[in-house]
Amino acid sequence: MHKELLKFKQVASTQDVLRRLIKNRKEIAVFAYRQTKGRGRYKREWFSPAGGLYLSILVFPERHINSIPLISCLSVIETLKRLNFNKVSIHWPNDVFLNNKKICGILSERIDSAIICGIGLNVNIKNFPSKLSNATSLYIETGRIYSLEKILNLCLKNFWNFYDSLQNDTFNIADAYQYISGVGEPVVVKLSSKEIIKGIIHNVDEDWSLIVRTDNGMIKKIYYGDVIRVL
Ligand code: BTN
C-alpha cells in the first residue's frame, strides 16, 4: 500500500481525473463519493449516486498488463469475503457478482504504458433504475449501511498487494479460478454488434481468455466481449 489516494466529493469520472495525472508518472488512486458522468464498458453509463464506491487506480505495469483488470476484480472479491459475503463470483471477464447479481463493474483503460483501472462497487445504494434489473448493492442484500472508508481501504490494500505480487511474478492466476461462474453453462457472447457466439462455457484459460464450445462443436478462445448468459 502506501500509495497516494486523492478523495473527492464529486467528479465527472474518476477515470478522467487520473487521465489528467498520467504525465506525473506516479502510481496513484482516486476515489469519489459521486460521479456525474461515470462510465462503464462499451461506453455505457455507470449509475453513480452517493452511496457507491467509485475508485480508479493508475498504474504503469512493467509486466502482466492484461491481468490488471483481473487483480482489480480479485481485490473486490477479497474485500467482500472479508466482510463475510460468501456467494461471490466472477462473471467473465471481470464483473463481480454477489448472490447472482451484479454488485461491481471494472473498466480498464490503457493509455500507452499507463493503465487506469476503474472499480464501481454498489455499497449503500438503495434503488436502481428499472433498466438495471440485475444490479444489487450490499445495502439491498443485507439492509445494512456499510462504511465506504473501510471498504475503500480494504480494496486498496488488496489491490496493491495483488499488484506487487503480479509485478514480482508471485501472483497465481489459479487463485481466481475458484470464483469463475458459469462453467458448463450456456452462454451468448456479443463480440460486436454483428458478431455473436453461442455455446457452452468450457473454461477460462491461463491468459484469462474464455473458452467456449460453440453450438457447432468448435472450441473458441475469446479475449473480449459482452457476456450475456443464457439461463
Ligand atoms: C462496467 O461494468 O461496465 C464497468 C463499470 C466501471 C465503473 C467505474 S466507477 C469508477 C470508475 N469511474 C468511471 O467513470 N467508471 C469506473
- The count of other CB atoms within 10 Å of the CB of residue 28 is 17
Would you place residue 231 in the very low, low, confident or very high pLDDT band (cuts 50, 70, 90)?
low
Atom 14, ligand 1: residue with shortest CA distance: 38
Span 131-147, pLDDT tens digits: 999 999 999 999 999 99
Topology of domain 186-229 in CATH is: SH3 type barrels. (2.30.30)
For residue 118, how far is its CA from the centre of ligand 1 (angstroms)? 5
Which atom belonging to ligand 1 lies closest to the Cα atom of 37? 14
Beta strands in the chain (DSSP E): 4-11, 28-35, 53-59, 88-91, 95-98, 101-111, 114-121, 186-190, 196-204, 210-214, 219-222, 226-229
* Cα 90-92-93 angle, rounded to 5 deg: 110
Span 152-196, pLDDT tens digits: 999 999 999 999 999 999 998 888 989 999 999 999 999 888 889
The CA distance from 90 to 93, in Å, is: 7
Q: Which superfamily, per CATH, for 4-177?
A: Bira Bifunctional Protein; Domain 2 (3.30.930.10)
Domain residue ranges of the chain, discontinuous segments joined by +: 4-177, 186-229
Which atom belonging to ligand 1 lies closest to the Cα atom of 41? 3
- Cell numbers standing for residue 202: 468450457
- Cell numbers standing for residue 34: 459521486
Confidence check: pLDDT of 99 > 90: yes
- Cβ of residue 122 lying under 6 Å from some atom of ligand 1: no
Strand pairing report for 95-98 and 219-222: unpaired
pTM of the model: 0.94
- Rg for the chain (alpha carbons), in Å? 17
Whole-number average pLDDT of the chain: 94
Span 197-215, pLDDT tens digits: 999 999 998 888 999 999 8
Sign of the alpha-carbon torsion through 80, 84, 85, 88:
positive
